[in-house]
A and B are shown apart, each in its own frame.
Chain A
Amino acid sequence: MRSRFSALELSRLDMPATLPPPGPELSEERFEASRATLFVDGFMTHFIKVGGVLVIAAVLGIFVFILFQILPLFQGAKVKPVQTVQLPEQQYSVMGVDEWAELPFLVSAEGKMRFIDLQQEGKITEIDLATVTKAAPAAPSPAAAEPETPADSAAPDAAPAPGAAAPPPSPPARAALFSAISYNARKQELALGSPDGRVAIVAVNYTTAFAEDGSRTVNQTLEAGEWLPLGRPGAPITGIDVGDASDAKLIGVIQQVGDGAEVHAVALTRKRTLLGGGALTAGQSHDLTPHLTGKPVQIHVSSSANAIVIVTADGEVEYFFKSGEQFELRQVFKPFGDLADPTVASIDFLFGDVSLVATSISGQNRVFSLYRQAGSNVRTFGQTKEFEPLPGAATFYTSSLRNKGFLTGTAEVASLRYSTTETVRWQEKMPFTIARAVISGKYDRILFLDKENRLHLYSLADPHPETSWRALFGKIWYEGYSHPEYEWQSTGGTDDFEPKFSLVPLIIGTLKGTLYAMVFAVPIALTAALYASQFLHSRFRAVVKPIMEIMASLPSVVLGFLAALWLAPLIETRVPSVILMVVAIPLTAFGFGYLWSGLPFGARRLIPAGYEFIVFLPIVVLVTWVCWHLGPAFEKIAFVVTDPATGARVADFRQWWPQATGADFQQRNSLVVGFVMGFAVIPIIFTIAEDALSNVPLSLRSASLALGATRWQTARSVILPTASAGIFSALMIGLGRAVGETMIVVMATGNTPIMDLNIFSGMRTLSANIAVELPEAPVNSTFYRTLFLGAMLLFLATFLVNTIAEVMRQRLREKYKTV
């Protein structure tokens, strides 16, 4: 109607109107709005609509933002081809790569080491290992300790200088420089075993230079040790591995002696001199052959240089542990003993050297970790994970140097797996036949070498391998644990630490805090609401409600401070008093009410209806005081134990509780938290429940009273059932507040993520966890996103609870309308 009016008026305004002189006579124009008014009105309409929608969208955008922060947690790995380089036709035995995956190398069977510069279209720098390694001299020469000068990568054919400067007197025969080779990617060391029973270690040092513009160039240098004789002199080495713990190396070799094989191990120690590293000197050689139960085919030495794992031809794994100078055979087990063909296709350590990843001939993939098995005090291997089987026997294996990921697969299929979460991050049939593969040090590139000697570079995007539904909400068998656990432990002391991101202890902690808060708050809040709405004299209402609302406004940091620094030390020694109070106060109330209401009518009039709570103010104070002082006496009667330290008999609840229940007693415990959180929850429940109760239509109440029901009968049978939905919604909203409470929990508990419901121990809630840990979490790390996930859970939980409550309340309002 208005718009038609204004259109009319607009057309009029366009005319050069001669305005009638202002006078008493009425004219049409008097009723017209000015153009400015209409413009402002239209503008404001649009402004408010757009602005309002934007504000609401922004506020609800919180949910979307947090959602986008946590989505990457649930994504798998993305692997994409980047580059392919054709290499010279040759048999390659070992592949390695630098941290940036720019300068991988391959070692050919003849002992040629080729560095492939992927930044320069695969330009190859070739180094002959024979010229680098030196034959063992009679006496250690100082020259051997000198680091090699960098090989000039610009001149592909330039032989390294030191080899040329000091030509090796007698390197092992050219055609067979080595008969066994292994590469320790973590320490970037090649271990070579010669056909004449000698070993040499060549360190591959990558150096990274950063230019002014931020670009980098990676260069390589080789640092070679001497050929050292090892084990049985002259016997060809068929398997070799080296473990390097900075100051000590452990070399294990399999040597062929006649038809049989022997296993020898030797520890090398590096003598430090003033001018840097000294030469490696071999320690005592150990012959492990007598302990063997079968023919050794594979040998692996742990990076900590104290363990050797040998695989025999019939699928047995033997675990030797070096304690002091002696090797002891700790364990012999068959990883695939339950299968028809127990042969081990591949087995190797995972990053951290606590777990072995094994694959069987049939493609079964299992992880064995070291832990203390029941009744034993040494750590032995036990199966902790079983992966989805591979389509066939594994032909390659490479582990990440950053986390518990590993890449394995058959000739056709590559599969990236993550040990902690027992998940396959990525698996694909490759368009070539895989010969070797390696993961770069930053866990962002994968290199494949195929059977046609092509090198394929793939990019790997897997920022959050540590999480999965199972890791976040399920039990995980972590390394070193003797059984699967729910565990939250975000950081550890070492690089190879497995972050433990189970949210379950935090959820349990949240529920525990909420439970005790509700146990304390609900009875008080609901009885208070019932009394205030039904029985309280109306003159007090104006006072009572604001006081309860002030309680709602108390900052939680204040409550937390009082809980931790005032209340916790206060009731630590007075738990029996608290128990007495919990029992005595309601009993006193009931008893007093019973006696009083039995008094003669005249006496009863002394306390008019609606004044009862005033009477109770001094009584409650008195009962509290009495209980407080009776507490020690009660403790002496009920909670006497023998102090294990002194043998004296003491009345001490703090000692009685652990001895009686086996659970902890801590000063900052759930009792304190529950009590103080009550201050936050009681007023909320009270206010909403009181509203619901006092909004019950008066007609219902009057009808009930008129029919002769007492005020209690009316309240219990008429008011409470009618308002039950409102009371439920009050409880829900109170619950929501307790779930999200942060500061009280941060301050008044020990913040230990434990999983029990013991009232005298602390907990860590989701919210406290965020407050404590988020400031330290690196942006966009798994840790950071997991904390966002915690926030999301809190958001969803409270939002859900509040929505239920709100819907209930609206239903209730409809109901009242119809009555």
Chain B
Amino acid sequence: METTNKTPRRAKRGVGEPFIWVTAVGLSLGMLMVVGLLALILVNGTAVFWPDRVEQVNIRAESPFELRGKKVFAGRLVKKQDRILQDIEAREAAERAGVWPQEFQYFVGNKDAYGLSFFYIDGAAIAAREQPRDIAQLERLEYGDAFGYFVGLRLKDGATIPAGDPNFLPQLRALNREVNERREELSRIEKGQIGRINHQLQRLALRQKEAGNDAAALAPIEAERQELQTRYETLAKTAGELRARQSENQLVYRLPAGDERTLPLGQLIDFRFPNQLGFFERTSVFLHGIWKFLSEEPREANTEGGVFPAIFGTFVMTLLMSIAVTPFGILAAIYLREYAKQGVFVRSVRIAVNNLAGVPSIVFGVFGLGFFVYFVGGTIDSLFYSASLPTPTFGTGGILWASLTLALMTVPVVIVATEEALSSISRGMREASLACGASKWQTMQRIVLPAAVPGILTGLILAMARGAGEVAPLMLVGVVKLAPNLPLDMTFPFFHLERKFMHLGFHIYDLGFQSPDSEAAKPMVFATTALLIGLVIVLNLGAILLRERLRRKYALGAF
């Protein structure tokens, strides 16, 4: 480069400047990938709950498209795209005409009537699309949503209220509320009370097995069993009556193509007129939908309803994992950094521990299955639960083993973070403490550990984020697609460590890959994904922020 005193009008190009731009594009790509991915998930994950308009589509009479023999259907437009014309002639024809053929994908609901949920149609086959004001969207217990027009209500006393009647909607709303309350009542009885009785009956059966032929021991068991049986029958009768009342009133509605269908009101969860909703009503439906997603149990092979058990399972598992990982991780780190004699051995141990963080998670899963489930669990079973063998209690995957496996997987993360935090505490602070006459442990306890807490927390949060998002090892040690019971409930002993559990990450895998209709499950997968990503990112951001604060703190206190 030549050196000149005055700036030339056209400066010579700096050597290698274009390459800098090439490196810049790497960073841009990286940024775009992250942001794009998050945006994709966020948009798709929340769009599920937004009540879109419903269109009624008339198909051209001459086109081959039809839905169950009818040329009219209603549905929510999911996708509209240009068709890819692989055939060269067709493509050239389209180019000449200047009209590119399009295809539409509609969510048509009414799975009971149509046998499918999504319908593809060529743009050219559509004669007219309109948004009728009075089309209703029915959220049902089975078969997903239905789209149709109300015809009337058929009440239990034989009376019918036609849809035109001013009483129709208030009556429908009242009845809908009533069945929803009754459904909750039913679930309380069936899942809560009957479930508890079943649990007790199982325990009795085990005691009976243990008692063997001892008549004296068997008598009270039998008496208790009789009593439980009576209680069960009373409850079952109540439940039966409630169930019968669920279907005494019926809603009649008409599909867009004209056929009338009846729906017992017990099957109706909610209904709305999507084309009549204003912005605020739609927002309210949207928020309500999110709430239901977070708080309800899944229905219809997990493709409908909520993900509450998965959230709960993830939460409990992460909690158990943290309880297991924190003391051991910190203990090992304190030993390595403060108590062990520093030398080649400790250094190589440190490298080994460090590297364990990079060992694939599936390896930990394999270890968890072989060691915790089959070895430890099998031993526990043969010692304490031999009565129920060969049905395993602890000898099969469960939340305890899953938590321990993940704890083992994340312990290196905690060790490394804690060690870093310990080593970043200035020598001055320790020496000051020791000089004041504090013992080594007092220095640790009062000075070093408190100062290291943010660093340790960072490690712990990172470990939780890793644990919450990990699926591969869980598949081997106890996660299931649908757990009948939560790992924590009101039956003794409240905490059921041996139970299998649901997990958000596995929910995604299962919905996307094991469900019979992956297209129908996609919205739910996106919603679950958004939730999981949200959880993991909040945890990670927390850790990052904590670390930044920590850095600043020590940057100031460096002198």
Contacts and interface: CB of A to CB of B under 8 A. Distances in A.
Contacts of A708: 1, 3
A37 B439 contact: yes
A768 to B, nearest CB: 8
A593 B22 CA distance: 8
A743 interface: yes
Interface stretch (B12-20, B182-190, B421-429): B12-20
A779 B396 CA distance: 12
Most A CB contacts (10 A, CB to CB) among B332, B354, B537 go to B332
B113 interface: no
B328 interface: yes
Interface stretch (B166-174, B224-232, B360-368): B360-368
B102 to A, nearest CB: 14
A45 B533 contact: no
B390 interface: no
Interface in B334-374: 334-336, 338-340, 349, 351-356, 358-367, 369-371, 374
Contact of A775 (B328, B355, B476): B476
A740 B439 contact: no
A495 interface: no
Interface stretch (A190-198, A211-219, A429-437, A520-528): A520-528
Interface string A78-115: 00000000000000000000000000000000000000
A777 B450 CA distance: 48
B513 A651 contact: no
A125 to B, nearest CB: 35
A774 interface: yes
B351 A803 contact: yes
A60 B336 CA distance: 14
Contact of B88 (A558, A640, A679, A737): A640
Contact of B28 (A594, A596, A620, A775): A620
A531 B24 contact: yes
A596 B20 CA distance: 12
A394 interface: no
A510 to B, nearest CB: 10
A481 interface: no
A583 to B, nearest CB: 13
A55 B532 contact: no
B26 A560 contact: no
A293 B180 CA distance: 87
Nearest to A604: B11
Contacts of B41: 558, 562
A561 B18 contact: no
A713 interface: yes
Interface in A559-597: 560-562, 564-566, 573, 585-586, 588-590, 592-594, 596-597
Given A44-B441, A564-B513, A774-B366, A597 B26 contact: no
B87 interface: yes
B472 A742 contact: yes
B29 A524 contact: yes
Contact of B512 (A66, A525, A565, A652): A565
The dominant DSSP class at the B interface is helix
Contact of B359 (A41, A612, A620, A795): A795
Contacts of A2: 439
A770 B442 CA distance: 48
Interface stretch (B31-39, B156-164, B494-502): B31-39
Contacts of B444: 44
A612 B20 contact: yes
A740 B408 CA distance: 17
A733 interface: yes
B213 interface: no
A284 B20 CA distance: 88
Most A CB contacts (10 A, CB to CB) among B86, B87, B442 go to B86
A783 to B, nearest CB: 13
Contacts of B28: 613, 616-617, 619-620
B91 interface: yes
A33 B476 contact: no
Contact of A650 (B32, B86, B441): B86
A59 interface: yes
B17 A600 contact: no
A541 to B, nearest CB: 11
B7 interface: yes
Interface string A54-87: 0110111010011001000000000000000000
A621 B22 CA distance: 15
A558 B471 CA distance: 10
A551 B30 contact: yes
B351 A650 contact: no
Contact of B472 (A736, A771, A807): A771
A593 B86 contact: no
A781 B194 CA distance: 41
Contacts of A33: 437, 439
Contact of B26 (A69, A526, A619, A640): A526
A4 interface: no
B359 A59 contact: no
Interface residues of B, number: 109
Interface stretch (A325-333, A413-421, A542-550): A542-550
A619 B31 CA distance: 13
A55 B512 contact: no
B509 A589 contact: no
B335 A49 contact: yes
Interface string B431-471: 00000010111101000000000000000000001101111
B540 A52 contact: no
B335 A774 contact: no
B21 interface: yes
Contacts of A553: 465-466, 469, 536-537, 539-540
Most A CB contacts (10 A, CB to CB) among B23, B29, B40, B370 go to B23
Most B CB contacts (10 A, CB to CB) among A560, A596, A600 go to A560
Given A49-B335, A616-B25, A743-B509, A62 B363 contact: yes
Contacts of A712: 14-17, 19-20
A716 B355 contact: no
Contact of A528 (B10, B27, B522): B27
B508 interface: yes
B362 A791 contact: yes
Contacts of B476: 770-771, 774-775
B37 A711 contact: no
Contacts of B369: 774
B31 A617 contact: yes
A531 B471 contact: no
Contacts of A41: 439-442
B362 A771 contact: yes
A597 B18 contact: yes
16 contacts: A31-B437, A62-B364, A66-B366, A524-B29, A527-B22, A551-B34, A553-B539, A558-B505, A600-B9, A632-B91, A651-B91, A712-B16, A743-B471, A794-B363, A803-B352, A806-B351
Interface of B: 1, 3, 7-11, 13-35, 37-38, 40-41, 84-89, 91, 328-329, 331-332, 334-336, 338-340, 349, 351-356, 358-367, 369-371, 374, 408, 411-412, 437, 439-442, 444, 465-466, 468-472, 475-476, 505-506, 508-509, 512-513, 518, 522, 525, 529, 532-533, 536-537, 539-541, 544, 548
The 7 lowest CB-CB distance pairs between A and B, nearest first, are A52-B335, A740-B360, A593-B21, A712-B16, A527-B26, A555-B469, A597-B17
Given A561-B525, A613-B28, 5 more contacts: A49-B340, A558-B533, A617-B31, A767-B472, A795-B363
Interface of A: 2, 31, 33, 37-38, 40-41, 44-45, 48-49, 51-53, 55-56, 58-60, 62, 65-66, 69, 523-528, 530-532, 535-536, 542, 544, 546-551, 553-558, 560-562, 564-566, 573, 585-586, 588-590, 592-594, 596-598, 600-601, 604, 612-613, 615-617, 619-621, 632, 636, 640, 648-652, 678-679, 682-683, 686, 708, 710-713, 716, 733, 736-737, 739-743, 746-747, 767, 770-771, 774-775, 779, 787-788, 791, 794-795, 798-799, 801-803, 806-807
